[in-house]
Amino acid sequence: MLRLQTPLPDRYTTADPDALRHMIRAAKTELGSRLLILGHHYQRDEVMEWADMRGDSFKLARFAADSDATDIVFCGVHFMAESADILTGDHQRVILPDLNAGCSMADMADLDQVEEAWDDIASVTDIERVVPITYMNSSAAIKAFVGEHGGAVCTSSNARAVLEWAFGRGDKVLFFPDQHLGRNTGIAMGYAESEMQVWNPHREFGDLDEAAVKEATFLLWRGWCSVHQRFTPDHVAAFRAEHPDGTVIVHPECSHEVVSVADHVGSTERILDWTAAAPAGSVIGVGTEIHMVQRLAADHPDKTVVSLDPLVCPCSTMFRIDAPHLAWCLESLLAGHAVNQITVDPQTSENARIALQRMLDIT
Ligand code: 13P
Ligand code: SF4
């Protein structure tokens, strides 16, 4: 989805790193406790150094929900800021420093496609027994659909708990938009791949036939993360050949072929915890976004932390948030106007909150 960010004033684009640091520090100090800066683990160092709280998408949603700050500057991507707006009160504002910080995976499922899929599935099976589960990486409109239809949101840190909850209420799950998180979690729970079908939203009836839909336990939306799909089993094999005693840790948005040869699979927060807990001298190959891997390496000089893919690219949308945008947002707040406020309309917000709250209650 195209969201246009207005160009920044020259004051920010021409400032050197020290000047930007000075602007951010001064504005942050002046804003005091009314401000909360949240930073996702994929953010650049120049942004992360200002985060009051760091975390994976679940942890950050909780921080937002529990915060008393009136201005929450979310250094992450659009769906995270939307979720924060849904979980906070009317007196709180959520700001995304760059409106172009979306998520290509979240954009792989839109409401029309999901409604069409739901109607198609309902035409061949008892829809009351189908539970829709959406990954946090989805629009507020899709979370609202899920809330209205008896489902819940999940993140990479709680997908298993949410799926167990879902199978307590129905016998089939429609999981979107990330097929990999759905497949990896289902297999970890003991389901066979033969119990899963991929729903292709660009083809009639998901490119499946009636029997396949009826028999499937998991209908997995054909979505993926462009960053995590780059990791391959060959990367893991090359790392293991070079470091036979090394440990491989990957994010569950990687394909099952990669996950099945990893030592640990978990959310960004868990990747961080495992790396921190590894003994000095450990060699760790990580399959996730490069800024996080580089920060892990810098924070643990007693260990060797490398990306599994030597050519891995950053998440281009997370990367959009930088010091100039952060300085601009903070100084604008100080001047009395909130730029880039993310607001979800009340009806969507109400239904999406149901799906998010179910996740928070389950976990
Ligand atoms: P986490 O919830 O693990 O931080 O994942 C968010 C994400 O977008 C990973 O690509
Ligand atoms: Fe979206 Fe992938 Fe970026 Fe995560 S890493 S925000 S899933 S594009």
- Distances 116 to 72, 111, 132, 179 between C-alpha atoms, Å: 35, 8, 13, 18
CB of 137 shorter than 6 A to ligand 1: yes
CB of 292 shorter than 6 A to ligand 2: no
**Cα–Cα dist 361/363, whole Å:** 6
For residue 304, how far is its CA from the centre of ligand 1 (angstroms)? 23
**Cα–Cα dist 331/12, whole Å:** 10
Minimum CA distance residue for ligand 1 atom 4: 56
Position 1 scores a pLDDT of 52
Q: By mean pLDDT, which of 105-119, 189-203, 240-254, 302-316 is the weakest? A: 302-316
For residue 225, how far is its CA from the centre of ligand 2 (angstroms)? 6
Position 242 scores a pLDDT of 98
**Cα–Cα dist 98/237, whole Å:** 38
The model's pTM is: 0.96
Q: Are the C-beta atoms of residues 90 and 114 closer than 8 Å to each other?
A: no
Task: Say whether pLDDT at 72 is over 70.
Answer: yes
Minimum CA distance residue for ligand 1 atom 8: 137
- Reported as a single tens digit per residue, the pLDDT across 242-283 is 999 999 999 999 999 999 999 999 999 999 999 999 999 999
Smallest Cα–Cα separation from 121: which of 218, 193, 186?
218
**Cα–Cα dist 350/150, whole Å:** 14
**pLDDT, mean of residues 100-110:** 97
Tokens 């000075």 sit at which residue?
22
Smallest Cα–Cα separation from 305: which of 291, 316, 293, 288?
293
**Cα–Cα dist 160/76, whole Å:** 24
CB of 178 shorter than 6 A to ligand 1: no
**pLDDT, mean of residues 344-359:** 98
278 in helix, strand or coil?
coil
Atom of ligand 2 at shortest distance to CA of 317?
Answer: 3
Atom of ligand 1 at shortest distance to CA of 268?
Answer: 3
Q: Are the C-beta atoms of residues 132 and 148 closer than 8 Å to each other?
A: no
**φ, ψ of residue 118 in degrees (nearest 5):** -60, -45
Minimum CA distance residue for ligand 1 atom 1: 56
Domains of the chain in start order, with CATH, are: 10-103+317-344 (3.40.50.10800), 106-225 (3.40.50.10800), 228-307 (3.40.50.10800)
Minimum CA distance residue for ligand 2 atom 2: 225
For residue 7, how far is its CA from the centre of ligand 1 (angstroms)? 28
Q: What is the CA radius of gyration of the chain?
A: 21
**φ, ψ of residue 72 in degrees (nearest 5):** -110, 115
Tokens 């129905």 sit at which residue?
170
Tokens 């929900």 sit at which residue?
65
Q: Which of 1, 77, 250 to mutate to test the pocket of ligand 2 (most atoms within 8 A of CB)?
A: 77
